[in-house]
Amino acid sequence: MIGIFGGTFDPIHYGHLRSALEVKEIFGLTELRLVPSAQPPHREQPAATAPMRLQMLELAIKNQPGFIIDTRELNRHGASYMVDTLKSLRQEFQNEPLLLFIGSDAFNQLETWHQWRHLFDNAHIIVMTRPGFNIQNLDKFFKVRLTNEITELAHKLAGKLYFQQVTQLDISATAIRNMIDKQQNPGFLLPDTVITYIRQHKLYQRH
């Protein structure tokens, strides 16, 4: 099974990295592909350029076996839609289950994603939740796809919905950018190599 973890990664931090590592182990993924988004359709444009976000990703996952940076959204023109990314991955990996990992905040907004129902054509969706996350009020579209068997994910290529609790680290890239802007130390929220890169390139200093 191949995992897909999309994001702006502006910058990547331990919230992303810890959950990526946990799901890689829990699902026994052959690889976890971090997919930096080019022009996020849902939100304001990233503060750091795409090549810079990419370099920070590279620094963060150095020596992390099975972690791969997948640049297909950066290489594509126009808006990055996950539905297109999954189609393109499916062409490349025709016989491997694809697992798209999203945070519960992203899942709550899934219905605003471009062609969101078609995400399930080419991947399973795994929602990374915090303890106490309530799945009682799921729409029928989701309920019929719900499974709690990892083996079912392994035996089908796509189409299932699964909720996985992961360790919650209350870290966000927004908070890190604001801290740097206020000249506070973001130490222990993201790798030191990434902090050094941010300092060297004077990123996220708006004032």
Among 1, 3, 19, 59, binds ligand ATP (CB under 6 A): 19
Q: Is 15 in the site for ligand ATP (CB under 6 A)?
A: yes
CA–CA dist 131, 129 (Å, integer):
7
3-class secondary-structure state, position 103: strand
Site string for ligand ATP, 105-144 (x = CB under 6 A): xx---------------------x----------------
The torsion angles phi and psi of 2, rounded to 5 degrees, stand at -115, 130
Amino acid (one-letter) located at 33: R
Among 55, 103, 150, 154, binds ligand ATP (CB under 6 A): 103
Q: Is 157 in the site for ligand ATP (CB under 6 A)?
A: no
CA–CA dist 58, 67 (Å, integer):
10
Q: Is 180 in the site for ligand ATP (CB under 6 A)?
A: no
CA–CA dist 74, 109 (Å, integer):
23
Residues engaged in binding ligand ATP (CB under 6 A): 7-10, 15-16, 19, 102-103, 105-106, 128, 169, 171-174
